[in-house]
Structure 1
Amino acid sequence: MRKFINIFFILLFIFIFIDRAEAASIESISATEIKVWGEYVIRGSGFGSSAKQGQVCWADTCLAESAIKSWSENEIVFVMNTTGMAERGELLVGFYNNCAENNGGECLGDWDYISGPQITVLPFVSKIIIDNEEYEMQEGFAYVLKPNVEMQIKGEYFGSKSGKVKFGDKETEVISWANQRIVLKVPKVKSFTSTFSIENQFGVASNYKIMLNSDYFNDQYFYYQTYLSWLYLPEALKENKAYGDNIIVAVIDSGVNWNHQDILKNIYKNEKEIPNNSLDDDKNGYIDDYYGYNFVTDSGIMPNPNNGHGTMVAGIISAITNNDIGIVGIAPNAEIMPLTVCDDVYCDQNAIAEAIKYATDNGARIINLSLSGLGSFYDYTELFNEAVNYAYEKNVIIVSAAGNGEQLSSESGIYYGRNLNNAPNSPVCNDSNGRQVIGVASIEYGGQKSEYSDYGANCIDVSAFGTKIFSLSHPSYSSIGSEYDIDSGTSFAAPQVSGAAALLLSKRPELTSWEVNEYIRNSGTSIDSQNQLEYQNQLGKLLNIQKLMQYLPTKNDLSKIKFTDAWYDKDYLYIKGDFFAKKMDVTILSNNGQFSSNDFSYTLNNAFSSPTLLKISNKKLHLVDEKGYTLTIKLERYDGGVLQISDFFVKNIKKAKLKISNIFTDVSEFNKNKDAILYLKEKGVINGYPDGSFKPLNAVNRAELLKILIEGAGIKVEKTKYANCFPDVKDEWYAKYVCYAKEQNWIEGYPDGYFRPEQKVNKVEALKMLLNIQKVKLPLAIYVNPFFDVDLKEWYAPYVYRAKELDILEETGNEYIPGGIMTRAGISENLYRLIRGSNS
């Protein structure tokens, strides 16, 4: 009997083992080409319930137990996080064939395996070495490579036999090849961005993005500017063809070596000033400020800078590109306005505040302040609040370095960044009325905070690269003894942001300072995962210039969407919200009747933007209150859906006439002339362009001006009555206005008899026409000169004086600039103030 029982159990064991062996199988694996750090899933059956009872292997190598994330009967998940695996082999899942005995829960005995498909490990690059500089390879980042130099590639799984290294489609010369190290020569290629791929002996390859000093950039030292590739500058320049044209960037610093051949042509020149004549030719309160101003010596004479700091900053922003020398500037056509506020060791706070106002009043759109922290001042001061607010209100973007922390000890030379939330400093934290200053922290090429960089969400908005930055300098101060230098600090991260802002404004000059600031803050790349917990959400995003130039922001809070169509009875309805957002379709179904209650929740599954802002699915006639309405969309639900408003009939209904609330795509709620433009549009006095824009900063011409002023005065002119009054004025749209104005003796032609309707109008010419058409009486005498640049002997002085008296001018200072060009926004504001003033 006992023998029978023993035989029974032996047969039972054999049956169970055979049944398991037949049941266990590999059905699939998520990929057969495996990347280091990649996560993969094996699916099948009979795997068991514990990784302690199984293995994942190929060839004669097996993954460590720590690489197994989960193990169940039907699925195994593993991460390729170990080195030393075979480069290729058949996938094997192994099981112990005897778990009867154990040692602390571990199975003892031999392994049995089931096989799967062939596995190949992709070559993995961990570092590249160029000119003895090591760079960690990071997914999604690019690297600048100097051509015709030796480059080492370190990593794993290159294979014991030589494979191929290609730059784009071009195979390059390999000097030596080993499983963990390849030495090669970097080729010269045509494309400025490309990939280099490592193909092992089995024909599989890994691709890495690189940038080469190619035909796109011929600058001598471009290959030192690795940070440009991480900021995606070449892609931004190629896609947008914007280079910072017509944008002035004030560098408030230690002075700029403005004779440097790599920036000379980009140095700002005050053409209203005659240099070195000891006179204030432009009457702006500063003598000889032709190339900027030295606030340390209170002089327009710009000697050599006090150190190389300001020159490095200026070079990062606007060094001349593709001139066979030097470096690449981020905004290579932007103008640099040098304003000196620092001596050899100290930056004067009062000088900085004065320089901010000077830059604002003299045409700068961007101010770079690489001043916070070491070498200037640590403590927060309200001294800058007024100056910062003054610049911000006048649409100037202010960029400030975060600061370089505190020195561990006087002997160590080591600096550690401070938390600005607890210890704010100036000027980076001078946001008296909100986010008026763009604070810039420094990070390393792997995305980690630079050890020295200050941080803190209250003051920091964005990060850029501040370590080992190569830029312009002055031979007297260069650490490498030339007109170039290498240095580190948040001072050199800030100008990267200033340069990016200049590119954006050269593409979209209508943007307000608030909009530019928000674009920069929100368009970057998150770096939280690369940083310790205490630095997460304290560094802003990493500046990404390509994304910045493409950026269309979103907003996840309440917003009013107002119907803004300026024309009646159109097939399409245009609406404009108080923010930009991404695209979605919204469907509104209505029965015949009035939209009555606007306080309802609307279901959204996205945000919305041009060109499809709102779709009306019911194409029947919609009857609404003639006074219009405002539809408030509350972002409370995100599950998608359709809303139908119940019937509500009223007696007095007409065809829909939609009131205007915000009429042009380039006139935002922050535009200082918004009320004037809206009012005149409602009155039918002004119109926009076919693309929906108003172009407020465009100069107004003689024909446009007369149309605006005559209609603004409420005068209706018959087209059939007025035409052919000048050789160049026949029966064009503006003929009736020109000829009527001539009949009223408001205008005259040029000495050659022509009117020149396209001729731009300056401010005093426009002011004269405005006051004459509105029949405003001029003063008999002028007792007080309202502006220092208005000569009381000039013909236009009475017009300027009367306009100032009536408060119809925008100018609030003591300068009017009589010869300045009148803009579309400017004449709209003047006319609006005059009309509203006469009606009050």
Structure 2
Amino acid sequence: MTQILLCTFLGVLVGYPIPTHAAYSFSPTIWQENNEVRVNGADLEGDYPSERILCFAPEADPDDLKCFRPDSKSIKQWTRTTIVFTPAANTPPVGFLKVFIMEDTDVCTNGGCQVLKQQTEIVIGAYKAHPYIVDIIDRETGVKTGNITREKTYEIRGFRFGDDVRDIYLGIRKIAREDIISWTYSTIVFRPSQEYEVSDGLRVQNAAAKSNIFTVNIVDTISNDPYSHLQFHLSDMRITDAWKQSQGKGIIVAVIDSGVDTNHEEFRGRIWGNPDEVRGNGRDDDGNGYKDDVDGWNFVSDSGELTPMSSHGTAVAGVIAAGKNNAVGVAGVAPEAIIMPLIVSNANGRIVGEDVIEAIHYAVDNGANIINLSMGGPGFTTDFNPAFTSSIQYAAEHNTLVVIAAGNGDILGQQEGNAQGVDLDQNPKSPVCNRNDNRWSIGVASISREGEKSRFSDFGLKCIDLAALGEGVVTTSFYALSEGGVSYASVSGTSFSTPVVSGLAALVWASKPGLAAWQIRDILIRSGDPLNDPTIGRKPDIIAALTEAGRTAAKPPLKPATPTIPPETHDAIFPDIPSLHPYESAIRWGKETRVLQGYPDGTFRPDRTVNRAEFLKIVLEADPSVDVSGETKETGFPDVDESAWYAPYIRYARRTGIIEGYPDGYFRPEQTVNVAEALKISYRALGVSTIDTGGEWYRRYLTHAQYNGILFSNDLNIASNMQRKDVVWVVWKLMGGK
């Protein structure tokens, strides 16, 4: 008969285990994660249904009950004859399933009989519950991981592990008990001391059974750098075997970016130095046009000050050349390569195209073997700028390999944090698509560890050659500008798949220094593994590339058979405007149309600023239909000399509504014109339609200019002064210049 225990409603009295009542049963008896268990019986409610409870009694300690009331979220159904529930996470691994109900019972004593409310214990039967692994945490970094490396500490999180130390399995092998640091019901901490082969996953054994299989990768120790086991871009490509042949020694890689933390211990002794420049004397000792460019140059501030503007450049440099086996941080792909830091990006990531072009020439002229450009247009359909092409050609013709990021998707997607890659065959971007000969550069896309194109990565058969891991790349950071002041970080983007390829190129080139830049490119691509998506190129195979380099005979540096500029245009149009000048096409047009001429000494002076009166004259004379000779009505501006050469132009512009002057009634003809003013005047003067997009008065003109490639660089500050080269560029573009 059913055992009766006297108790109050709130206190459950338990005694010794009793046999299962024949009228009750349940299934299944062995529980997996999220199994539904069904209990059947004659009476599972008693006389007081609201007071019934479902309990689990551990086999090791039957008095330590875990109980649940009918309103528990674990209980799906409870009727008089049926209970359906999902075992809770704190269910003991091995034990008895019990139900307690309240019943009215006649109790008789010498004083007579009475009906008492008493608790009835129903032992349904014995069960076993599997443990379940939820996550594995790398204790050194605090992040989730799917990789196990010897001598690294990990924490397994889950439930039903039990309170007693049991076993952890990697495949069919047990982890040594002495490697288990702690074991609780929901966490296990361990530190494997042995090497393990590739396994089919990690499992935990409790007192009942083994857990679910948690997929892990067995990662060999890459170096003694504490975070190197998280550098999957290294572990996934047999980098340790490659290092036996080459570590990039002596190869100079120019990182044209936001700056590199030259104080970072990962680059100690491997920041490029200009041997002919004397530090701090304020002179251009080597005559290269840059004063005190001891370790590189800042093209934003036009100085030798190299404090990084953001962490981006330091992260890029770390992927390429962080030191290895120095017992700190991470390892670089080419840990003995030399980094040349060149700054072109400000703190907001803004880059002026002309600075990049100048930096490329600087890198080439100062001995860089490889140039890393982890940059690209913001994601507009008009991100291609032909001005970069001649500088990339310049690098190729001087035996420098340029490695360029594909780009990180469309502009709106980037703003929403969900960018989708741009088809570069349809909407090419700069600088990755600036090549008239594929041998000039390597375009790099981003892939996942599984070899699939990253959602954000741009792609295209014409511009992309190789793809490397660009998701969760662990590398160096600039502590002063990083969140939390850390010196290492996990980053994603084609900005970080690109330096992987730059590092690989350094390894190959160092192994066979006599090869030409175009041969290094050819070897990396030819020896790479095909990917499922041909629009992202191939995945590099560094061992195959080193082998191929070893049997490749050196050939001369690349000299394009066909010049990219027609022969008749090779003569400089001005002494200070060489044929490869990025603004050459616009300036040539300005000279030929007489819109903007040179100075009496024959020079053009492209960087000289232009005042408002000069700019108005230039724009109006660009339109052959404009005639200011008959303008006699005074301008109405008190600061305009009506007898001055520029007065007729101001009269015409005011009469036709091109200009209005400032709110105080002045025109300020001698004041330097800024970008915002120049766009408004030129758009109105040349009759180019715009749409009111709201915002500041200049927004409609700036938006049109950015989307239609009117500015040489979309990163020009609207408040910056217009220089002669930008004046002729804007007018040329608005007049249909290509």
Q: Tell me the TM-score normalized by structure 1.
A: 0.44
Q: Whole-Å Cα distance in 1 between the matches of residues 381 and 314 of structure 2? A: 21
Distance change >3 Å, CA 517–CA 458, structure 1 → 2: same
Q: How far 1:671 sits from its partner (Å)?
A: 7.4
DSSP-derived class of the 1:422 partner: coil
Q: Does 1:309 align with 2:328?
A: no
Q: Whole-Å Cα distance in 1 between the matches of residues 430 and 288 of structure 2? A: 27
Question: Once the two structures are superposed, what CA deviation does each residue of 1:730-769 show, in whole Å capped at 9, x if it has no partner?
Answer: xxxxxxxxxxxxxxxxxxxxxxxxxxxxxxxxxxxxxxxx
Percent sequence identity is: 37
Taking the TM superposition and a 5 Å limit, the aligned residue runs for 1:499-510 are 499-510=503-514
Q: How far 1:514 sits from its partner (Å)?
A: 1.5
The number of residue pairs the alignment matches comes to 411
Q: How far 1:357 sits from its partner (Å)?
A: 1.0
Letter in 2 for 1:505: W
Q: Which residue of 2 aligns with 1:227?
A: 233
Q: How far 1:318 sits from its partner (Å)?
A: 0.8
The one of 555, 560, 563 equivalent to 1:668 is 555
Distance change >3 Å, CA 430–CA 188, structure 1 → 2: farther
Q: How far 1:449 sits from its partner (Å)?
A: 1.4
Question: Once the two structures are superposed, what CA deviation does each residue of 1:510-564 show, in whole Å capped at 9, x if it has no partner?
Answer: 1111111112212223331xxxxxxx21111223323322236xxxxxxxxxxxx
Q: How far 1:248 sits from its partner (Å)?
A: 0.3
Q: Does 1:210 align with 2:218?
A: yes
Q: Whole-Å Cα distance in 2 between the matches of residues 167 and 243 of structure 1? A: 37
Q: Which residue of 1 aligns with 2:624?
A: none
Taking the TM superposition and a 5 Å limit, the aligned residue runs for 1:93-104 are none
Q: Whole-Å Cα distance in 2 between the matches of residues 428 and 260 of structure 1? A: 29
Distance change >3 Å, CA 307–CA 427, structure 1 → 2: same
Query: 8 Å contact 1:347–1:375 — kept in the other structure?
Result: no
Q: How far 1:667 sits from its partner (Å)?
A: 4.0
Q: Whole-Å Cα distance in 1 between the matches of residues 474 and 414 of structure 2? A: 27
Q: Which residue of 2 aligns with 1:431?
A: 435
Choose between structure 1 and 2 for higher RCO, CA contacts under 8 A separated by at least 6 residues.
2
Q: Whole-Å Cα distance in 1 between the matches of residues 275 and 336 of structure 2? A: 18
Q: How far 1:466 sits from its partner (Å)?
A: 1.5
Q: Which residue of 1 aligns with 2:361?
A: 357
Query: 8 Å contact 1:244–1:506 — kept in the other structure?
Result: yes
DSSP-derived class of the 1:383 partner: helix
Question: Once the two structures are superposed, what CA deviation does each residue of 1:474-520 show, in whole Å capped at 9, x if it has no partner?
Answer: 22321232222332211011011111111111111111111111122
Q: Which residue of 1 aligns with 2:294?
A: 290
Q: Whole-Å Cα distance in 2 between the matches of residues 450 and 550 of structure 1? A: 29
Query: 8 Å contact 1:151–1:186 — kept in the other structure?
Result: no
Q: Which residue of 2 aligns with 1:148?
A: 153
The one of 472, 486, 492 equivalent to 1:488 is 492
Q: Which residue of 2 aligns with 1:760?
A: none
Query: 8 Å contact 1:165–1:174 — kept in the other structure?
Result: no
Q: Which residue of 2 aligns with 1:263?
A: 267
The one of 324, 328, 335 equivalent to 1:325 is 328
Question: Once the two structures are superposed, what CA deviation does each residue of 1:79-133 show, in whole Å capped at 9, x if it has no partner?
Answer: xxxxxxxxxxxxxxxxxxxxxxxxxxxxxxxxxxxxxxxxxxxxxx999764675
Taking the TM superposition and a 5 Å limit, the aligned residue runs for 1:5-16 are none
Q: Which residue of 2 aligns with 1:412?
A: 416
Distance change >3 Å, CA 244–CA 377, structure 1 → 2: farther
Q: Does 1:542 align with 2:546?
A: no
Q: Which residue of 2 aligns with 1:573?
A: none
Q: Which residue of 1 aligns with 2:375?
A: 371
Q: Whole-Å Cα distance in 2 between the matches of residues 144 and 492 of structure 1? A: 24
Q: Which residue of 1 aligns with 2:76?
A: none
Letter in 1 for 2:319: I
Q: Whole-Å Cα distance in 1 between the matches of residues 258 and 283 of structure 2? A: 24
Query: 8 Å contact 1:268–1:335 — kept in the other structure?
Result: yes
Distance change >3 Å, CA 206–CA 313, structure 1 → 2: closer
DSSP-derived class of the 1:277 partner: coil
Where structure 1 has 5 or more consecutive residues not aligned to the other structure, the ranges are 1-124, 137-141, 155-160, 529-535, 553-579, 581-609, 611-664, 673-840
Query: 8 Å contact 1:143–1:230 — kept in the other structure?
Result: no
Query: 8 Å contact 2:379–2:410 — kept in the other structure?
Result: no
Distance change >3 Å, CA 199–CA 453, structure 1 → 2: closer
Q: Which residue of 2 aligns with 1:380?
A: 384
Q: Which residue of 1 aligns with 2:527?
A: 523
Q: Whole-Å Cα distance in 1 between the matches of residues 197 and 448 of structure 2? A: 23
Letter in 1 for 2:190: K
Q: How far 1:350 sits from its partner (Å)?
A: 0.7
Q: Whole-Å Cα distance in 2 between the matches of residues 465 and 167 of structure 1? A: 31
DSSP-derived class of the 1:476 partner: helix
Query: 8 Å contact 1:144–1:226 — kept in the other structure?
Result: no
Distance change >3 Å, CA 550–CA 197, structure 1 → 2: farther
Q: Whole-Å Cα distance in 2 between the matches of residues 398 and 168 of structure 1? A: 48
Q: Which residue of 2 aligns with 1:796?
A: none
Q: How far 1:166 sits from its partner (Å)?
A: 7.2
Distance change >3 Å, CA 671–CA 543, structure 1 → 2: closer
DSSP-derived class of the 2:269 partner: helix
Q: Which residue of 2 aligns with 1:511?
A: 515
Q: Which residue of 1 aligns with 2:77?
A: none
Q: Whole-Å Cα distance in 2 between the matches of residues 148 and 245 of structure 1? A: 33
Query: 8 Å contact 2:407–2:458 — kept in the other structure?
Result: yes
Distance change >3 Å, CA 412–CA 145, structure 1 → 2: farther
What RMSD, in angstroms, separates the aligned Cα atoms of the two structures?
3.8
Q: How far 1:326 sits from its partner (Å)?
A: 1.6
Q: Which residue of 2 aligns with 1:473?
A: 477
Q: Whole-Å Cα distance in 2 between the matches of residues 359 and 497 of structure 1? A: 18
Query: 8 Å contact 2:413–2:420 — kept in the other structure?
Result: no
Query: 8 Å contact 2:181–2:191 — kept in the other structure?
Result: no
Q: Which residue of 2 aligns with 1:51?
A: none
Q: How far 1:153 sits from its partner (Å)?
A: 11
Q: How far 1:219 sits from its partner (Å)?
A: 1.1
Question: Once the two structures are superposed, what CA deviation does each residue of 1:4-42 show, in whole Å capped at 9, x if it has no partner?
Answer: xxxxxxxxxxxxxxxxxxxxxxxxxxxxxxxxxxxxxxx
Distance change >3 Å, CA 411–CA 340, structure 1 → 2: closer
Letter in 2 for 1:542: K
Q: Whole-Å Cα distance in 2 between the matches of residues 168 and 436 of structure 1? A: 51
Letter in 1 for 2:275: E
Taking the TM superposition and a 5 Å limit, the aligned residue runs for 1:380-779 are 380-408=384-412, 412-528=416-532, 536-551=533-548, 666-668=553-555
Query: 8 Å contact 2:253–2:337 — kept in the other structure?
Result: yes
Q: How far 1:199 sits from its partner (Å)?
A: 10
Q: Whole-Å Cα distance in 2 between the matches of residues 276 and 375 of structure 1? A: 41
Query: 8 Å contact 1:366–1:398 — kept in the other structure?
Result: yes
Query: 8 Å contact 1:311–1:472 — kept in the other structure?
Result: yes
Query: 8 Å contact 1:255–1:340 — kept in the other structure?
Result: yes
Question: Once the two structures are superposed, what CA deviation does each residue of 1:422-458 show, in whole Å capped at 9, x if it has no partner?
Answer: 0000111111222322111111222221111111111
Q: Whole-Å Cα distance in 2 between the matches of residues 480 and 544 of structure 1? A: 36
Query: 8 Å contact 2:167–2:175 — kept in the other structure?
Result: no
Q: Which residue of 2 aligns with 1:685?
A: none
Query: 8 Å contact 1:251–1:369 — kept in the other structure?
Result: yes
Q: Which residue of 2 aligns with 1:165?
A: 170
Distance change >3 Å, CA 285–CA 407, structure 1 → 2: closer
Query: 8 Å contact 1:341–1:347 — kept in the other structure?
Result: yes
